């Protein structure tokens, strides 16, 4: 029974950054439920509030109106159970640390004093690296990794904290297309165990595996990601393609935000 | 003796001149502090903040000299190093808070604190009657005349710094890697930053004896940056940078012994030279 309860509940959230918090909210009356086996993609243009939404779920920001609960509690109380995967560019490549050192910081909430992590933590970190297929690179320096490899290390770091919810911010930014497919497959496998939310302005990432898509541009609307049976598109992409059916009230169907609405086009063709 | 090697000359004189022994020990004590803290400073890119802390310490020196001269009965026990230590620690806390909460024009604000600390020190010294030769030794270092009490004080600071690094290493590495992740893992980032800056302040005071407050930055950043060219993990980096610091505070000093070249300048020039050489070697290899 408890499985049916949503992992994340966002109700009527309005948020703006000071000093224009009231006049120009970044998010307005956003409501969203994320279920226990959800694989949700949040897409929208830059400045549409995607990262802000993630930060609200992490409790790094507090909404001016509305409530955010994760696992039925305030986000700050359950942070240790949320695996957050920032953009891989956040990691300074000049830091003298190995892949294992980085993944071990995912165990920091359990072991933060002293200079060394004990064996249970090292084993947990190695297990997380194995899950992401990066175990053979554990002793490599983080600065020598490619963008895609670094992204996997950050996912491993989130998993190392025994996360029960995975939040990814722009996971495909600066990553080659063929690596990206490997990344989507990895996330699909992880989704068998835990709910995943991906935030991206890169609409091509939305094309596979996602169960549901939320379009965010100040306001939020959800769509079911559904198969497009349009042979030409499939032929062009060499793989299964999903398109988003934007409803009329979708904020992305406004003119001027076409940046986030590319999946709309196949729908129009498919409708013909 | 002028035609013999400086090394032999130096060790021959060491038997008669205890200051040569204390000078070497002071260099080694300072090496331990800057070898261990330097890598965090370089990795976290807070060389500029460290410079501000060092120059704010001048304000403390001025205040100590002023207080000791104007209120001789109440402040007789205060030495300039006490003032420097207090000012550096206060500066570390202040800069830690500024760094966390002021995002806009942060570098300008730190620069203002840097200049004002120094200016306040100079002003207070100007208002203090008498000639203060010891001020020069704090600004430009004085590794030639180090008292045993200085060596013991530096050793005590080393123990505090090493102990703190052993206790805080995982937190310090975490904020070097990703502050936001550290915060999500329940780490108080502000407090950890302030701890690091206070350790920098203690190191600055340790190094003052060797190269002086003006040149502290060179010894805090250059050996660690040089070591970072060749070592890729934090633990080994601390070790290599400590050994390099020890080399740089001893060898140039012995090499210029008996010449007109000041040992403090020789140490800093050698540190800079080794760093540039390391950059060049790295460029050629890659």
ipTM, interface predicted TM-score of the complex:
0.89
- A 193-232: CB under 8 A from B: none
Phi, psi of A216 (to 5 degrees): -125, 120
Q: In this complex, do A108 and B185 lie within 8 Å of one another by their Cβ atoms? A: yes
In tens, the pLDDT along B160-190 reads 999 999 999 999 999 999 999 999 999 999 9
**pLDDT of B204 strictly over 50:** yes
pLDDT at A44: 78
Pairing state between β A8-15 and A242-244: unpaired
Q: Is A162 on the interface with B (CB under 8 A)?
A: no
Instruction: Using DSSP, state whether B188 is helix, strand or coil.
Output: coil
Of A98, A109, A115, the CB nearest to B169: A115
Q: In this complex, do A92 and B177 lie within 8 Å of one another by their Cβ atoms? A: yes
Of B170, B171, B237, the CB nearest to A96: B237
pLDDT at B35: 95
pLDDT at B167: 97
- Most A CBs within 10 Å, among B162, B232, B239, B241, to test the A interface: B232
Chain B residues with at least one Cβ partner in A under 8 Å:
39, 43, 165-171, 173-174, 176-178, 180-187, 228, 231-235, 237
In tens, the pLDDT along B66-114 reads 999 888 888 888 888 999 999 999 999 999 999 888 877 888 999 999 9
Contact (CB, 8 A) for A268 and A246: no
**Chain A with chain B: Cβ pairs closer than 8 A:** 96
Tell me the shortest Cα–Cα distance from B42 to chain A, in angstroms. Answer: 9
**pLDDT of A248 strictly over 80:** no
pLDDT at A247: 57
Inter-CA distances, B55 with A22, A41, B89, B157, B205, Å: 43, 51, 12, 19, 11
pLDDT at B103: 74
In sequence order, what DSSP letters do the residues of chain A get, joined into one string?
-GGGS-SEEEEEEEE--TTSTTTS-SEEEEEEEE-TT-EEEEE--TTSSHHHHHHHHHTSS--SEEEEEETTB-GGGGGGGEEEE--GGGS-TTS--BHHHHHHGGGTTT--SSS---HHHHHHHHHHHHHTT-GGGTTSBGGGS-HHHHHHHHHHHHHHTT-SEEEEESTTTT--HHHHHHHHHHHHHHTTTS-EEEEES-GGGGGSS-SEEEEEESEEEEEEEEE---HHHHHHHTS--EEE---TT-GGGSTT-GGG-TTHHHHHHHH-
Tell me how far apart the alpha carbons of residues A170 and A151 are, in angstroms, rounded to a whole number: 10
Q: In this complex, do A86 and B237 lie within 8 Å of one another by their Cβ atoms? A: no
CA distance between the termini of chain B: 46
Chain B residues whose beta carbon lies within 8 Å of the beta carbon of residue A106:
181, 185
Tell me how far apart the alpha carbons of residues B192 and B12 are, in angstroms, rounded to a whole number: 47
Instruction: Using DSSP, state whether B272 is helix, strand or coil.
Output: helix
pLDDT at B173: 95
């Amino acid at each position: 029974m408890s499985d049916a309860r949503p992992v994340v509940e966002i109700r009527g959230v309005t948020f703006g950054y000071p000093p224009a918090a009231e006049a120009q909210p970044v998010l307005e009356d956003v409501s969203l439920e994320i279920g226990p086996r959800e694989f949700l993609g949040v897409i929208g243009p830059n400045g549409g509030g995607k990262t802000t939404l993630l930060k609200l779920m992490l409790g790094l920001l507090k909404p001016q109106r509305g409530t955010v609960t994760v696992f039925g509690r305030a986000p700050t109380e359950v942070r240790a159970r949320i695996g957050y995967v920032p953009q891989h560019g956040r990691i300074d490549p000049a830091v003298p640390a190995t892949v294992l050192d980085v993944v071990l910081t995912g165990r920091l909430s359990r072991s933060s004093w002293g200079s060394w992590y004990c064996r249970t933590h090292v084993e947990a970190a190695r297990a997380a690296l194995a899950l992401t297929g990066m175990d053979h690179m554990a002793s490599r320096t983080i600065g020598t990794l490619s963008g895609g490899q670094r992204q996997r290390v950050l996912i491993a770091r989130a998993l190392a904290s025994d996360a029960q919810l995975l939040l990814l911010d722009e996971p495909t930014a600066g990553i080659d297309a063929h690596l990206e497919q490997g990344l989507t497959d990895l996330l699909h496998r992880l989704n068998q165990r835990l709910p995943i939310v991906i935030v991206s302005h890169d609409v091509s990432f939305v094309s596979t595996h996602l169960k549901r898509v939320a379009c965010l541009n100040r306001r939020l609307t959800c769509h079911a990601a559904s198969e497009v049976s349009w042979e030409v598109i499939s032929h062009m992409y060499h793989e299964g393609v999903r398109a988003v059916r934007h409803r009329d009230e979708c904020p992305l169907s406004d003119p001027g935000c076409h940046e986030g609405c590319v999946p709309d086009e196949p729908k129009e063709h498919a409708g013909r | 003796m002028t035609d013999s090697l400086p090394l032999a000359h130096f060790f021959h004189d060491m038997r008669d001149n205890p200051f040569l022994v204390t000078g070497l020990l002071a260099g080694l004590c300072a090496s331990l502090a800057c070898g261990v803290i330097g890598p965090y400073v370089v990795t976290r890119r807070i060389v500029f903040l460290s410079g501000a802390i060092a120059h704010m310490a001048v304000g403390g020196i001025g205040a100590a000299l002023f207080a000791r001269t104007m209120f001789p009965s109440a402040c007789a026990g205060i030495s300039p190093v006490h003032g420097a230590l207090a000012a550096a620690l206060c500066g570390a806390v202040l800069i830690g808070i500024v760094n966390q909460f002021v995002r806009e024009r942060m570098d300008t604000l730190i620069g203002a604190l840097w200049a004002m600390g120094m200016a306040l020190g100079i002003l207070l010294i100007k208002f203090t009657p008498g000639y203060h030769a010891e001020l020069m030794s704090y600004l430009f270092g004085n590794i030639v005349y180090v008292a045993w009490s200085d060596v013991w004080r530096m050793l005590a600071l080393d123990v505090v710094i090493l102990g703190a690094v052993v206790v805080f290493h995982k937190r310090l590495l975490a904020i070097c890697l990703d502050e936001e992740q550290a915060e999500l893992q329940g780490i108080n980032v502000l407090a950890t930053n302030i701890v690091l800056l206070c350790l920098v302040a203690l190191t600055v005071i340790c190094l003052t004896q060797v190269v002086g407050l003006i040149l502290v930055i060179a010894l805090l950043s250059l050996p660690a940056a040089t070591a970072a060219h060749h070592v890729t993990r934090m633990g080994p980096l601390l070790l290599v940078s400590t050994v390099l610091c020890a080399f740089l505070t001893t060898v140039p000093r012995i090499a210029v012994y008996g010449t007109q070249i000041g040992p403090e300048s020789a140490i800093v020039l050698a540190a800079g030279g080794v760093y540039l050489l390391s950059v060049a070697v790295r460029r050629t290899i890659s």
